[in-house]
Amino acid sequence: MKLHWIQRPGLAGLMAVVIAACNNDKGLQPQAHDANVYQQINHRMMAEMDKMTDTNDPDHDFSMMMRMHHQGAIDMSNEELKSGDNQAMKAMAQQVINAQTAEIAQFAQFLQSHKAVPIPAGPTYNAEEMESMMKMMRAQDVRILTGNSDVDYAQLLIDHHQSALEMAMSELKYGDDAQIRQMATKIIEDQKKEIGMLQDWLKANKNY
């Protein structure tokens, strides 16, 4: 799936204004996005996705994409377990690892036995998937990251989960395999719940 990375000329100016404003608060020291370990993980994930060749079979392409997407979340969660301090965030990280490792195995099993069959709506499906990933990138680009593992993990995982939600919703629109549709439904339910938990944690720990 070619994500076609785009340049956003106004973004640098926007971030300069945001960082300048934040530097007035001595308690917050913004970190360059490319220096942030979680953003580095997401960049690697996006590079892997960019190598993917679409089959225009929604069930097949969703399964291939979600294996890489889930691995990105697992890598982020392993980093949180290593670098984080907050027990609630570390528990969330372990929950993500457990659930998404199991789902990767299910997707791999499906792909091993499934022959991709293109459908006319396949390119439309893949365009929606690409837009979901581009939205995640745009959302993460304007996050204020500080190098605090717990806060950065929570913020970026929200965006990561939101893109998975949207991809799963596209699968339900275009896919027809019962197993993969069931997995998409579970991803929507689980990650909506986790997004709410992450948002509640960030609100309660805004001065963390």
Q: What are 83's two structure tokens?
A: 């670098």
Q: How many angstroms separate the CA atoms of 119 and 143, rounded? A: 37
Instruction: Provide the pLDDT for residue 206.
Output: 81
- For residues 77 and 154, is the Cβ–Cβ distance under 8 A? no
| pLDDT tens profile 76-94 | 999 999 999 999 999 999 9
List the pLDDT tens digit at each of the 208 positions of the chain: 655 544 444 444 444 434 444 444 445 567 777 889 999 999 999 999 999 999 999 999 999 999 999 999 999 999 999 999 999 999 999 999 999 999 999 999 999 999 999 999 999 999 999 999 999 989 998 899 989 999 999 999 999 999 999 999 999 999 999 999 999 999 999 999 999 999 999 999 987 6
Q: How many angstroms separate the CA atoms of 81 and 94, rounded? A: 8
Instruction: Provide the pLDDT for residue 28.
Output: 56
The radius of gyration of the chain from alpha carbons, rounded to an integer in Å, stands at 18
CA quadruple 184, 128, 34, 158: dihedral sign: negative
DSSP-assigned letter for residue 46: H
Q: Which residues contact 206 (CB under 8 A, 6 or more apart)?
A: none
Instruction: Provide the pLDDT for residue 3.
Output: 56
Q: What domains are there in the chain, each with its CATH number?
A: 33-204 (1.20.1260.10)
